Each structure stands twice: as C-alpha cells, then as structure tokens.
Amino acid sequence: MVAPPEKYAHLNALNDHLGTEPDKLDVMFCGINPGKRSATIGHHFAHPTNHFWRCLHGAQLTDRLLDATEDGILPESYQLGLVRQVLAVTQQAAELADTEYTAGVPALLRKIVLLRPCMVCFVGKQIWESFIKAAAPRPTGSRGSTPSAGITSAERGVHTEVKRVPKPPLAFDLQPYKVVHSDRESLTHSIRQSDARVRETLFFVVVSTSGLVAGYQRPEKIKQFQLLKQRVDELKSCSLDTSDMTIIPIPPDLL
C-alpha cells in the first residue's frame, strides 16, 4: 500500500555521496529510496540486515568492511558514489507510488551527465526497470515482448501467425544500454572531450541487498558485486565491446 506523505514526513531524505568532479567515480550505486533506519541515522544502507557493505568488501571494492556511517568517504577513498532515485522515505519500497519512481529519473540522468561515472549500478531489479522505462521508453505498442505478426508467403499466399516472443528474464549483469558523453557536457566543466577519461557510462544491475530478499543469500549477492568489479575492470582496460548497446537519449535541458 502506498504510504501517505505525512507518515514519514518527520524523516529527512539522504544526501548523495558523489563527489564534485567528473570522471572520478568507477561506480555510482543507485538505490531505490531511503529506508526508515537509514533516514533516522542519516546514512545509506544502514539497516543491520542489509548486505550492501558486506558485498562491497566481499567483492574487494573496499579494502575493509565499512560501517554505514562511513558512507561519505566512498567517493574520495574508493571512487564509489551513492545516490537514490526516489527521495521519499519509506519503510518498504512497496509503499512508493509508481509516479515517485519515474519522477526521480531526470535528476538521476542529470547527475550521470555531470559526473560521468564509468558505471551506474542499480541495487535492485525494480529500480532499474523503472529507470529504463522512463529514460529509454519502448516504441508505442510495445509491452515488453515481440508482438505477433501475420506473414503472407508471396509464393503460396499462405498466412502464418508468428507467436509473441516473451521478453528474456533480467540478468544481474551489464545491461545493453549506455550514455554517451558529448563535447557539450565536457565543455560544461572546461574539459574537452579528447581529454575526458570517461566517454561512456554503462549500466549494471544487482539484486537488492535488503535482508528481506530471501531468494538470494549474501554469498550470491557478493558474487554479483564481484562480477560488477570485473566489468568495471574490463571497461577501464577497454576490453568491453559496447558498439551494440542502445544509447539512452539525454534531453537537451539536462545538458
């Protein structure tokens, strides 16, 4: 059930931890929204049953197990950033309205354009699907699968129905989308594109690190974070082929 605004009005939204300079972040982690515990103490992924910090350490993205209260050191010390797509505080994601998910997409895209991280990692399938639906909408009439079509043979005049092809399940891995950073974005920071370190931002999805996600235990979540680190290393060594990825359009008002 969607929570009324007054239910959590006494709790504050969390600050982003992204740094201020472009091209500095290896990974920008995007969560859904602040949970009640995180909003209460003012730090990301703060609930004691959340696996986020242990996943970072288990994947060697940090050299020690950090406490949630140390979230502010991530950009400078580890080239990692933290952001939330939805600002509203709730105890569970189910208390958010669909409009709250999509309303945060332009602001998130703006941060990606300004900071040019190597990778944006969405912590949870639902938040990724809401983002990509708003950022790169499918053509009118598409509902997540290839529509059936009637094909008539030119030789025999036989009409054959092609069945609808289901959309493949989401892989917790690199996604087939990218943001390409333009000269205009680079000049915003007085940096020419030829000098910019990051020319494309890619997207990765891991399962939610919430302890409520019973279908994936911590060892499996850590494996997903290890794969994330592997993909970042591949991207930085220019061994990833991104030529077939769909480019997410950036509205002119976000540049």
Residue 158 lies in a domain: no
Q: Is residue 161 part of a domain?
A: no
**E-state strands within the chain:** 27-31, 80-84, 119-123, 149-152, 159-162, 174-180, 200-206, 246-247
In a domain, 154, yes or no: no
Please give the helix or strand (H or E) that residue 110 lies within, else none. helix 105-115
In this prediction, residue 154 has a pLDDT band, given cuts at 50, 70 and 90, of: very low
| Residues 19-39, mean pLDDT to the nearest whole number | 86
Residue 184 lies in a domain: yes
CA distance 81 to 54: 16
- pLDDT value of residue 248: 96
Between 175 and 7, where is the model more confident? 175
Q: Rounded to the nearest 5°, which phi and psi values hold at 204? A: -135, 150
In a domain, 230, yes or no: yes
Selection from 155-159, 189-193, 215-219 with the highest mean pLDDT: 215-219
Q: Is the pLDDT of residue 220 over 90?
A: yes
Mean pLDDT for the stretch of residues 183-190: 51
Classify residue 145: in a domain, yes or no: no
- Mean pLDDT within 64-93: 85
Instruction: Report the CATH number that the domain containing residue 73 is assigned in CATH.
Output: 3.40.470.10
Domain assignment of residue 242, given as a range: 5-137+168-254
pLDDT digits (tens, 9 = 90+) for 94-122: 555 566 778 888 989 999 999 999 999 99
The residues, any chain, with a CB within 8 Å of residue 116's CB and separated by 6 or more, are: 22, 23, 181, 185, 196, 197, 198, 201
Domains in the chain: how many in total?
A: 1
Is the residue at 147 inside a domain?
A: no
Prediction pTM value: 0.81
Q: Is residue 240 part of a domain?
A: yes
Quick one: 90 exposed, middle or buried, by C-beta within 10 A (0-12, 13-18, 19+)? buried
